[in-house]
Structure 1
């Protein structure tokens, strides 16, 4: 967070308020000159959440396009300049945005206030495969952690973005938090249709650990044994997972809708049993005419698909 000893004087009061409101360790250094043009957000999931909080109070620029991969998307020279002119840069952190990490680091070095949301929502660690022990960045699959993220974004916007109406931003946040509470309750009710013994997930890569932790699922494995889509499975990885899937009696493999399901299909064939491959919206929102145009839409669609795939016939 902003250090009040080095901050621009006109921001010092807001920075002190923020210091009392959010965890220590938040990076947000004030540029030496005038603030830039609003809030810049790296991923489209966080972008949608941030827009719900900010409303009409400031411009929100989202860098990641619909149906993109947060692990590999990059930015243009113009977008890189936009980052360094931001009043606030909101990014996921925990190693998610591998393609724009250097841009985030450059912005921090230039004194742009930044918020790595994932670092402050009680992150979990991966528990298996290549990423075991590393922090899992996919916190958004748990709506209760997203509610925590809303509070973080709210206080950073109020503290760092000049000209916003703090009461309006906090009212927007409260309304969105109420929607998240309703979403959490609805998801739990839908998942009640899945017998506890059938709450087993196999996905393209490790992305639903937070959902599993919140709603009592077991992550049996992933086709790509990693927390990033940039890794690749070996033949032995697929064979081992196939054996695990067969032993667990898993009926469905969930593949990200923005990526080909070839690997999941190959794994299903390797297992020698009939397994449905069901698409989910795991790491990116769709365009406005898609089924996951907002974070809330995405979570409802995923809940419906998971329940349909795993509930007893």
Structure 2
């Protein structure tokens, strides 16, 4: 089957995050706060914020640099507060890789406090963000999906700031679509190629190898999701983190337990009742919790609606990847895990993974 090729969209230039310094802090000797570090072949030091961009960066640099990841497995970026030792790591880094798109609202303060003056790499550059309701077509099916897609570009462009720099209110969970993850990887690779001490040819070769895997992943998801009629591709998740996945594969997002981009928010009683009603009316078969969020509310809603709940080891990987040894320890593994469970909830057994994705 031919890989999907969505209509090209106008891209919005994303402003580089401010990197003004307010003076370096003396922070040695403090705890690492869960940051993870890898190889240090060239003496180049890179800090990555989230688990996803940390994984992308490690795939690109291999043994070329030390990579320090600020957020640990299962840790959401929304309410993160870097420790003193993590600020010290930023201060001494040659490059700082961020998800961007407004996800890390603490980054500007961290950069200023640390005195970082290296290369700032925004993985979201050139990616158009969806707004709050851009994926909200829970009552649509069939041809109406096509009509939604036909007008999506215009609506998204209208929602954005005319200069392309306003991401307030935009959904930052861009990595959930493998095609956008590929663009993130390209952005990171472009930035790393400019960092002194890194071999651009090695970065380029690693980028080619990894994007081939992302292409294969995208095709595998498309082939398997296409087995399910559009009207039956229903999804309920813990919070509003899967917008780009929903749009990429033409799912209907019925609702989320936490009706917000921020996983720290909490649903009201009225919002819970409304979601239970939607689940019953649409025929949703399951509610998906997420690994970085308490499953209690999802379990309660699933119980009230009389449907299955996926939690614990069967929770989706949304805001964060999982610990070493879990399905979600890598971006590729997390996507495979998520898709298998979603397909299972629809009664579909997924096909074998492409050879390039098999371990």
- TM-score, length-scaled by structure 2: 0.73
Question: For this pair of structures, how many residues does the alignment match?
Answer: 283
Q: Is the 2:125–2:187 Cα contact (8 Å) retained in structure 1?
A: no
Change (3 A) 1:128 1:275: farther
3-state SS of paired residue (1:59): strand
Change (3 A) 1:128 1:26: closer
- Worse-superposed segment, 37-46 or 222-231: 37-46
1:310 counterpart residue number: 346
Q: Distance in 2 between matches of 1:181 and 1:194?
A: 21
* Post-superposition CA distance 1:27-59 (Å, at most 9, x none): 48699xxxx952110001110011111112221
The answer to whether the aligner puts 1:191 opposite 2:191 as a matched pair is no
1:167 counterpart residue number: 201
In the alignment, which of 16, 23, 26 is matched to residue 26 of structure 1?
16
**Structure 2 counterparts to residues 1-313 of structure 1, below 5 A:** 25-27=15-17, 37-98=44-105, 102-106=109-113, 110-127=116-133, 134-159=169-194, 161-271=195-305, 273-278=306-311, 279-311=315-347
- Worse-superposed segment, 78-87 or 169-178: 78-87
Give how far 1:113 is off: 2.5
3-state SS of paired residue (1:169): helix
Change (3 A) 1:300 1:105: farther
Q: Is the 1:28–1:113 Cα contact (8 Å) retained in structure 2?
A: no
Q: Is the 1:37–1:85 Cα contact (8 Å) retained in structure 2?
A: no
Change (3 A) 1:27 1:230: closer
Q: Distance in 1 between matches of 2:320 and 2:265?
A: 18
Structure 1 residue runs without a partner (length 5+): 1-21
Structure 2 residue runs without a partner (length 5+): 1-11, 22-42, 136-155, 160-168, 350-359
Give the structure with the higher percent helix.
1
Change (3 A) 1:66 1:189: same
Give how far 1:242 is off: 1.1
Give how far 1:99 is off: 5.3
- TM-score, length-scaled by structure 1: 0.83
Q: Is the 1:66–1:284 Cα contact (8 Å) retained in structure 2?
A: yes
Q: Is the 2:127–2:180 Cα contact (8 Å) retained in structure 1?
A: yes
What's the C-alpha RMSD, in Å, of the aligned pairs?
Answer: 2.6
Give how far 1:312 is off: 6.2
